[in-house]
Structure 1
Amino acid sequence: MTEFTATPVQLDTEAELDAFIERHECSLVEFYAEGCPLCQAMGPVLGNVARSTAVAIGLVNPRDDLELVDRFEIQSVPTLVLFRAGEPIATRADGFLGGDEVVAFLEANAPVTVADGD
Structure 2
Amino acid sequence: MRLSQKPLRPGDRAALESVLADHDEVLVEFYTKGCSMCQAMEPVLGNVARARDVTVAMVNPEHDMELVEEWNVRSVPTLVLVRDGEEIARKAEGFQGASDVVAFLDEHTA
TM-score (norm 1): 0.90
Residues of 2 paired with 1:23 and 1:67: CA distance? 22
Say what the alpha-carbon RMSD is for the aligned residues.
Answer: 0.9
Cα deviation, residue 54, structure 1 = 2.3
Residues of 2 paired with 1:75 and 1:64: CA distance? 16
Cα deviation, residue 107, structure 1 = 0.6
Residues of 1 paired with 2:40 and 2:54: CA distance? 19
2:29 maps to 30
* SS of match in other structure, 1:17: helix
* SS of match in other structure, 1:20: helix
* SS of match in other structure, 1:46: helix
1:77 maps to 76
Output aligned runs, 1:41-56, within 5 Å.
Answer: 41-56=40-55
* Structure 1 unaligned blocks of 5 or more: 113-118
Q: Percent identity?
A: 47
Residues of 1 paired with 2:69 and 2:63: CA distance? 11
Output aligned runs, 1:4-15, within 5 Å.
Answer: 4-15=3-14
Residues of 2 paired with 1:25 and 1:64: CA distance? 26
Residues of 2 paired with 1:35 and 1:79: CA distance? 14
* SS of match in other structure, 1:16: helix
TM-score (norm 2): 0.96
Residues of 2 paired with 1:102 and 1:3: CA distance? 21
1:99 maps to 98
CA contact (8 A) 2:49 2:56 kept: yes
CA contact (8 A) 2:12 2:63 kept: no
4+ runs of 1 displaced by more than 4 Å? none
CA contact (8 A) 1:3 1:23 kept: no
CA contact (8 A) 1:11 1:17 kept: yes
